[in-house]
Structure 1
Amino acid sequence: MTIALQYCHITVNDVDQALAFYGDALDLEVRNDVASDGFRWVTLGSPTQPGLEIVLSEPHAGRSQADGDALQELLTKGVLPMTVFRTDDLDATFEKVRGSGAEVLQEPIDQPWGPRDCAFRDPSGNMVRITQEPKA
């Protein structure tokens, strides 16, 4: 038996703004863009992980009004779980993402537990960390 992660969902306020961040700044490619009942679900992925996709959608997409409202409140507070990406060149990735206008939370630093990382907020306020494993 094998098992692998296929989808990871990120809730955003505006799918088009999120596409500019995740697609343009992080170089993820759009794999699917589906509209239904006035909402969109956009999947993105990296060529280095063809079987894994990130799904961007708004809080009320496919949810009840009450559930969408609760998720919107958490998104507004900035307390939804962070997403962590890995890169082989943290400094170049940091500069590209910073150049996109994203809010910088932490410039690249060496963490005491090993990796070098940095942090941003996406246009909806989600925390995004980018990490690079220590060089051997």
Structure 2
Amino acid sequence: MKITLSQCFLSVEDPDKAIEFYRDTLGFEVRNDVAFEGMRWITVGSPDQPDVDIVLEPPVANPDASPTDREAMAGLMAKGLLSGVIFGTDNCDATFERIREAGAEVMQEPVDQPYGVRDCAFRDPSGNMLRFTQPQ
């Protein structure tokens, strides 16, 4: 039996800012952009991984969500507590400089970790944590 990753989901507050960040800063392809019942889902992914998608979705992907639920999700997003993704890179320092120069919020500058990677971290425009690791 073979199991592979197909999709993962990140909540985003502003779909247009998310597209700008993931497409223009990270160099991802926009693979799908779907509106449904007043909400919008965007699928992006690395050109080097055509079978893996990141779905950028509304914080509360339910048109019937209560104002209390929406407020709770907004609070969690503001604190960066919802989700994150770890990306691999072949050059952590160059990746860091490119993303930093684009204005992303730096969480951690490149550092050699005791578990064998050099990594750095940022927040995307919605506050999701993104780590970039390079094997040593």
Q: TM-score, normalised by structure 1?
A: 0.91
Corresponding position: 1:123 with 2:109: no
Q: Which residue of 1 aligns with 2:7?
A: 7
Per-residue CA deviations over 1:21-49 (Å, capped at 9, x if unaligned) read 11111111000000111111000011221
Moved over 2 A (4+): 60-64, 66-73
Task: Give 1:68 deviation, angstroms.
Answer: 4.0
User: Cα RMSD between the aligned structures?
Assistant: 1.4
Per-residue CA deviations over 1:74-131 (Å, capped at 9, x if unaligned) read 1122111221111111111111111110011111110111100001111111111111
2:93 corresponds to which of 79, 91, 94 = 91
Percent identity between matched residues is 55
How many positions carry a matched residue from both structures? 134
Partners in 1 of 2:46 and 2:112 — Cα distance?
25
Task: Give 1:64 deviation, angstroms.
Answer: 3.6
SS at 1:9 equivalent: strand
Q: Which residue of 2 aligns with 1:78?
A: 80
Please list every run of 5 or more consecutive structure 2 residues that lacks an aligned counterpart in the other structure: none
Q: TM-score, normalised by structure 2?
A: 0.91
Q: Superposed, which structure 2 residues align to 1:1-136 within 5 Å?
A: 1-62=1-62, 64-66=64-66, 67-134=69-136
Partners in 1 of 2:47 and 2:32 — Cα distance?
14
